[in-house]
Every structure is written in C-alpha cells, then in structure tokens.
C-alpha cells in the first residue's frame, strides 16, 4: 500500500495487511496551510478503503518516535501502547469487519465511519503532557477481523 500527498510519496510509518483489513499510518511534512489531493495505491484488488487525515502543526520531520501494530480475528476490543514524549502526539487507527460504532479509552476519538457496507474505520489521538507510554483501547460490539495501529511523534 502506498500514499501520496500532493503528488509526493508519504512515508509508511506502520502498516499491516495480515487480515482482510489492510491498514496503514502514513506521514509527510507539508507546508502549513497546504491543500492537497491524497492518493492511495494498493497492489492487487482493493475492495474497500477508509481514510482519516490528521495535521500535526509545528513538526519538521515525519519520523516517528514509536509505532506498533496488533491484529485480532475475533473479540470486541484491541489495545495498543506507544512511547510518547512530553509535547508529542500519538495517533491510533482501527479497521474491522463489522459495522458498529467504536468506543475509545485512553485517546480522543477523531472519526468513526462506515465507508462501505461491511466494515468500520475509526481513528483517535492523544496529546502528551509528560513523557511515558500511552495506551489506547478501541472497543465495539460483535467480534470480527480487526487491525489496530499506533504511532507517536516528538
């Protein structure tokens, strides 16, 4: 899977394609106030896609401080932690084979969407006021294949 923002390739910070829900977090430094098209590419057939976009102001590098991924084939929640530095930010994204709302703990929900008819995509963030590990849990009703990814910056 690949991503370009305004025609420039973004860096895949963390990605997973181990279950039906290929999921990734990409990053690219762009000028403040930029409006740009986002293009996603995938090898093979892509039957569904959900996109969340976040801006992190004041950063001069897209290099992450930490990243992690976890997968499940059943269950109703996934939890994942990443190291955060004071003044940093952590992002989580989940995709799963179920159409029902996501509840987040340990992070603030940014979006929760059903882009198609058979899957759910949701994202959340955390603004670190002190250095340390931060965990977030995404929960839902009904078990399904699910992916949870996380990355932190600064």
pTM: 0.90
Residue whose structure tokens are 């409006």: 35
Following CA atoms 68, 147, 18, 51 in sequence, which dihedral angle do they give, to the nearest 10 degrees? -100
Its CATH class, for the domain covering 2-153, is mainly beta
| Highest mean pLDDT of the ranges 6-15, 28-37, 49-58, 139-148 | 6-15
d(CA 28, CA 87): 19
Encoded tokens for 38: 């986002």
State pLDDT tens for residues 65-104. Answer: 899 988 887 889 999 999 999 999 999 999 888 778 899 9
**Per-residue confidence at 58, pLDDT binned at 50, 70, 90?**
confident
């Amino acid at each position: 899977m690949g991503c370009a923002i305004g025609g420039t390739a973004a860096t895949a910070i963390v990605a997973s394609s181990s279950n039906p829900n290929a999921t990734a977090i990409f990053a690219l430094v762009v000028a403040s106030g930029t409006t740009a098209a986002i293009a996603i590419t995938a090898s093979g057939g892509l039957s569904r896609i959900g996109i969340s976009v976040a801006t992190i102001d004041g950063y001069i590098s897209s290099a992450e401080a930490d990243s992690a991924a976890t997968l499940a084939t059943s269950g109703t929640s996934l939890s994942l932690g990443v190291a955060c530095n004071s003044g940093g930010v952590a992002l989580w994204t989940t995709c799963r084979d179920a159409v029902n709302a996501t509840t987040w703990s340990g992070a603030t929900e940014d979006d929760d969407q059903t882009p198609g008819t058979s899957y759910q995509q949701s994202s959340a963030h955390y603004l670190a006021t002190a250095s340390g590990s931060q965990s977030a849990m995404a929960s839902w009703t009904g078990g399904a294949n699910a992916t949870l990814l996380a990355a932190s910056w600064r």
